[in-house]
Structure 1
Amino acid sequence: MPSQLPDTARDTGPDTFAVIAVAASAGGLHGLTTLLGGLGAGLPVPVLVVQHLDPRHRTVLADILGRRTDLDVKLAEQDEAARAGTVYIAPPDRHLLVGADGTLTLTRTELVHFLRPSADLLFESVAGAYGPRAVAVVLTGTGNDGAMGVDAVKKRGGTVIAQDPQSAEFRGMPEAAMGTGAVDFVLPLEDIPTVIRGLVEFKRQ
């Protein structure tokens, strides 16, 4: 496990990181609450979240998370611009994508590994839009959603964080991410916010 910032964080300039993309599934409410609650106010980048949700029901996830973090939390909307310090949740049954200008897109294109929203699609869009300025985070969950996506992020020079499976309620997603060899940091859930703050604030003083 690296003990310092990876080369991508050191070598690409003062505004290295521009977005955080997060994936979670089973056990994700606790994981996201801990992560977002630990980030504190004034985060200088937006956070894009795919949490696998039941498409048959309206979600109150944004409301719940918004009460447990100092960041603004909302369901993502079509064609809105991602703003620093705001968390955007993929709505049920919609893929969440981001463009190079930070504009969000919601689609109902086909399921990916039987899932919509798909972490893989979010991560791949983040990799394409931000390259080495992207951070991808895989939290607790079953299955392997996010594994292809973290590989894309790493290949474009981004940084990948996986929750330590020992601290995850469900190990499948973080273990699948680790199996790609693309993960820079494997961390207990409680340590992830500190590392993210360190990455996005690096050289910003």
Structure 2
Amino acid sequence: MSTAPETPDFDAASIEAVVIGASAGGIEALNRLLPELPDDFGAAVLIVVHMRPDVPSLLPELFGARCRLPVVEPNDKDEITPGTIHLAPPGYHMLVEPDRSIALSIDPPVRFSRPSVDVLFESAALAYRERLLGVVLSGANDDGARGALAIREAGGHCWVQDPATAGATAMPRGAIANGAAHEILTLDDMAARFAAGIGRKRIGANR
């Protein structure tokens, strides 16, 4: 269960993008959450998972086989598409540009990670402001805590996985400790919220 009531200023229909950060234990969490996204899900989804930079990612195929939404590993300058899951490619920071396109960067690692959750979250906070939902999942360091706080300070909303349910607790604990979390939720709670829909429903999506 949530440890706090849903904040009254959170309007799920107004959300235009969902950014998700995960590390150790995060793939299991994503496997629980992403298949719950309905095919008329209105928001774009952008995800950073810490992974080795020298090994091609199998996540697009893994999640693509289980999800109703298309799953892509974007190229630099690709447009961010509503109702699509965008996975950061290994070895690249993934940023949101002011025009809401993707930028890929080989700048130095942040919090020992490239891609970095903080880099995605901070850039998305500037682009989407109050129309952004940030989600911090299981992970073994506190990458994402600073970015989650940036989302909150920009007017967005932050969910954090309950550390008691996380395979690795450092990432969610970091986002709780600095006051970024609006709500601390189990994966089942998050899955139910996602299934109910985030963002305005896309016209013409298959039901």
> What is the TM-score with the length of structure 1 in the denominator?
0.91
- Mark the CA change 1:198 to 1:6 in structure 2 (over 3 Å): closer, same or farther: farther
2:135 corresponds in structure 1 to 137
| Residue number among 3, 6, 9 corresponding to 2:5 in the alignment | 3
- Quote the Cα distance in structure 1 between the aligned partners of 2:73 and 2:201: 31
Displacement after TM superposition at 1:197 (Å): 5.2
1:28 corresponds in structure 2 to 26
**Aligned letter for 2:4?**
P
- Quote the Cα distance in structure 2 between the aligned partners of 1:155 and 1:59: 32
Structure 1: 5+ residue stretches without partners: none
2:101 corresponds in structure 1 to 103
Deviation digits for residues 135-170 of structure 1 (CA, Å, limit 9, x no counterpart): 000011101000000010000000000011111111
Where relative contact order (Cα < 8 A, 6+ residues apart) is larger, the structure is 2
1:121 corresponds in structure 2 to 119
Displacement after TM superposition at 1:6 (Å): 3.5
- Quote the Cα distance in structure 2 between the aligned partners of 1:132 and 1:197: 21
- Mark the CA change 1:64 to 1:196 in structure 2 (over 3 Å): closer, same or farther: same
Cα RMSD for the two superposed structures: 2.0
2:205 corresponds in structure 1 to none
- Quote the Cα distance in structure 2 between the aligned partners of 1:32 and 1:183: 19
The answer to whether the aligner puts 1:92 opposite 2:90 as a matched pair is yes
Verify the 8 A CA contact 1:33 1:69 in the aligned structure 2: no
1:41 corresponds in structure 2 to 39
Q: Which moved more, 1:17-26 or 1:35-44?
A: 35-44
Verify the 8 A CA contact 1:63 1:74 in the aligned structure 2: no
Q: The residue matched to 1:58 in structure 2 has which SS?
A: coil
> What is the TM-score with the length of structure 2 in the denominator?
0.91
Deviation digits for residues 99-144 of structure 1 (CA, Å, limit 9, x no counterpart): 2322001000111111100000100001000111110000111010
Q: The residue matched to 1:88 in structure 2 has which SS?
A: strand
Verify the 8 A CA contact 2:22 2:48 in the aligned structure 1: yes
How many residues are matched?
201
Q: The residue matched to 1:2 in structure 2 has which SS?
A: coil
Verify the 8 A CA contact 2:145 2:175 in the aligned structure 1: yes
- 1:1-205 equivalences under 5 Å are 1-7=3-9, 9-10=10-11, 16-196=14-194, 198=196, 200-201=198-199
